[in-house]
Amino acid sequence: MRFLSPLVRRNPNPSSSLLAPRSWLSLSRYRSAASIRSHSRSRCADAFGSLRGEGSGRTEVFSAPDLAPDSKKGTAMAVVTKGVEEGSPAKRFWIRSQKEAVFTAYTPFVVCLAAGGLESEAFQGYVAQDVHFLKAFTKAYEMAEECSDDDDAKATIRELRKAVIEELKMHNSVVQEWGIDPSKGTAPSSSTTRYIEFLIATASGKIDGGKGPGKIVTPFEKTKIAAYTVGAVTPCMRLFAYLGNELQVFLQNNGNHPYKKWIESYSSRAFEDTAVKIEDLLDNLSVSLTGEELELIGKLYQQSMKLEIEFFSSQQIARPSVVPLTNPHDLKNRLIVFSDFDLTCTVVDSSAILAEIAILTAQKADQGVADGLIARKSSSDMRNSWNMLSRQFTEEYEECIEKLLSSQEVKAFDYDRLRTSLKLLSDFENRANSRVINSGLLKGLKLDDIKKAGERLVLQDGCTNFFQNLVKIKEKLNVDLHILSYCWCADLIRSAFSSAGCLNDLTIHSNEFGYEGSVSTGEIFRKMESPLDKVEKFKTIISNLSRDPKHLSVYIGDSVGDLLCLLEADIGIVVGSSMSLRRVGKHYGVSFVPLFSGLVNKQRQLDKQEKTPVWKGLSGVLYTVSSWSEIHAFILGA
């Protein structure tokens, strides 16, 4: 049972945690951890709007009484509103583009380049194409300067244009080092051509909602074109500064990295300053624009990022790559993807949702709207009962984790000792579930209300998209999908995935409510309530694949309850920043590695043609991500 808020198992302030992994989603440096949590809570509250009869466009109250260890520091009632984006236009546009940035980073070209094994022919082809981009940027800056009516903006655009010219000179130096004759031109590829045509069309005023250059009749209209053009160029500069900064870690202990000069160029202070300069220019040019015009720039920014993904994805490499996982996957082998549900897929724990439904149902009974419901406690009694169960769970959970850590820390990964120790957590979960059943809290819930809540349940950003896209290629790639969850009510999970159009293509393993007709009796048919239950189900599913002896398993989870399955899988992926998961894992010798860094290391193994499997279960290594976009990029690609 996991009926507490996300903060029970997640570090309340992951940005300050010494255990928080270095992640490819550090792009959100512009956005505070507090604002992200507030946005998540806002989306959670929407799931209950239909049960209250409220619309989704208003301030709503989501009750989460004493759900976390930190709850003593604040009120039990959280008033939440729709998340409002903060920061300047350039910062907001970049935050919106996190998925595209991740997809670009996880392309085979970038991973092989970071690993240092990218063949020289592939890099030469990339550099030759990049020259066409830089020439287009020079032309676009020239056109933007002509449109701008502000002397300071004109001066900044001239500086940026000079920087591109300097970068072209750097490229000429690089291509000569790699044996390329710069005097021999290379035709632009189709992806390069699409990007250039988009950029020049934007600089000419040929954009959605804009006017062609021959129809620009006022100076103000021309200044808008300057803003649009800068909006189309800015993402490229920020993306390359970001990539350079993140790739520089792979130069450590590798002074002979073949692409050291390229990485150092884009990770330099000078290039970052240039990226900041064009972002400041975009902000200044946007001051006088309307909200509609700013949204248009946002669309241009997004389109530019998508064209960047297309460009990097189109780069031809000869060697095998570890990304995407489904690309080198032998279709004769089976790929089995397992995922936890609560707080791995969802924004809020399902137990909190079910408790909220129970309390709202009791409120209807208080008001005399019995509707044939089973006799039950008053809503205030239900609320008090939930408060008590939550506090008791929190206190005992923390005690249980401390007991798990009371033994001497192991020097090397010890799976057997970890499994034996987690029996303590299994006993605790069993007792906690019994208390919930005996409390009568879950008695009288209507199946229709549970299904409505599941339909409105907001999954983590990118989660729905991942499962929908995986389902599309499920048969082609010989993929099995399984959800392993402690959730008290599998109907809630079924409803959530049914609304996403994925229910018929995955198997759900969870607990079930008991019903009289369509109303819950308060009983839970317990099928999965502990780490040991989960791993036994996991191993049973794997063992039943005897007809497909060759298979690759992926498990995605977020908590201590997922730890054994994460380790048993060939690839264990940890979502989020659960402090308890990392503490327990580290105590028993588990290593946590950011997924991208892990992929670069695996690519190096593959480049060396090592005979050991690239992926292997019970290695003691788990891979951390901050979003489902990373999982999507790794398994499915862009």
> What was the pLDDT predicted at 24?
30
Backbone torsion region of residue 232, taken as left when φ is above 0, otherwise alpha when ψ lies between -120 and 50, otherwise beta:
alpha
> What was the pLDDT predicted at 370?
54
Q: Where in the chain is the domain with CATH 3.40.50.1000?
A: 334-635
Q: Average per-residue pLDDT in the chain?
A: 83
Which residues neighbour 244 within 8 Å (Cβ) at sequence distance 6 or greater?
263, 264, 265, 266, 267, 268, 271
Cα 440 to Cα 378: distance, rounded to the nearest angstrom: 12
pLDDT for 171-182, tens place per residue?
777 666 666 666
Which tokens is 588 given?
């028993």
> Which residue has better confidence, 18 or 228?
228
Give the class (CATH, top level) of 120-313: mainly alpha
Q: Mean pLDDT throughout 365-379?
A: 65
Instruction: Give the three-state DSSP class for 516.
Output: strand
Give the model's confidence band at 5: pLDDT under 50 very low, under 70 low, under 90 confident, else very high. very low
> Which residue has better confidence, 211 or 613?
613
Q: Residues 229, 203: contact at Cβ < 8 Å?
A: yes
Give the model's confidence band at 210: pLDDT under 50 very low, under 70 low, under 90 confident, else very high. very low
Give the model's confidence band at 63: pLDDT under 50 very low, under 70 low, under 90 confident, else very high. very low
Give the Cα-Cα-Cα angle 524, 527, 533 (nearest 5 degrees): 135
HSE-CB of 234 using CA atoms within 13 angstroms = 30
Neighbours of 213 (CB within 10 A): 14
pLDDT for 464-505, tens place per residue?
999 999 999 887 888 999 999 999 999 999 999 999 999 999
> What was the pLDDT predicted at 218?
61
Helix H or strand E segment including 472: helix 463-472
Q: Where in the chain is the domain with CATH 1.20.910.10?
A: 120-313
Cis bond upstream, residue 324 (ω within 30): yes
Q: Residues 223, 148: contact at Cβ < 8 Å?
A: yes
Res. 378: pLDDT tops 80: yes
Res. 40: pLDDT tops 60: no
> What was the pLDDT predicted at 85?
63
Q: Mean pLDDT throughout 226-235?
A: 97
Q: Read out DSSP for 63-99?
A: E-TT-SGGGGGS-SEEEE------S-HHHHHHHHTHH
For the chain, the maximum distance between any two Cα atoms, rounded to a whole number of angstroms, is 86
Amino acid (one-letter) located at 310 = E
> What was the pLDDT predicted at 211?
42
Give the Cα-Cα-Cα angle 430, 432, 436 (nearest 5 degrees): 115
Cα 548 to Cα 51: distance, rounded to the nearest angstrom: 46
Beta bridge partners of 80: 60
Q: Mean pLDDT throughout 399-415?
A: 96
- Could you identify the residue written with the tokens 């103000």? 220
Distances in whole angstroms, Cα of residue 216 to Cα of each of 205, 206, 293, 348: 8, 11, 16, 50
DSSP state of 187: P
Q: Just give the CATH number of 334-635.
A: 3.40.50.1000
Res. 55: pLDDT tops 70: no
Res. 32: pLDDT tops 70: no
Strand order across the 591-594 sheet:
507-509, 479-484, 334-339, 551-557, 571-575, 621-625, 591-594
> What was the pLDDT predicted at 330?
59
Res. 188: pLDDT tops 90: yes
Q: Mean pLDDT throughout 209-232?
A: 71
Q: Residues 91, 286: contact at Cβ < 8 Å?
A: no
Res. 223: pLDDT tops 80: yes
pLDDT for 512-558, tens place per residue?
999 999 999 999 999 999 999 999 999 999 999 866 668 899 999 99
> What was the pLDDT predicted at 219?
66
Residues designated as active site: 236, 308
Beta bridge partners of 335: 479, 552
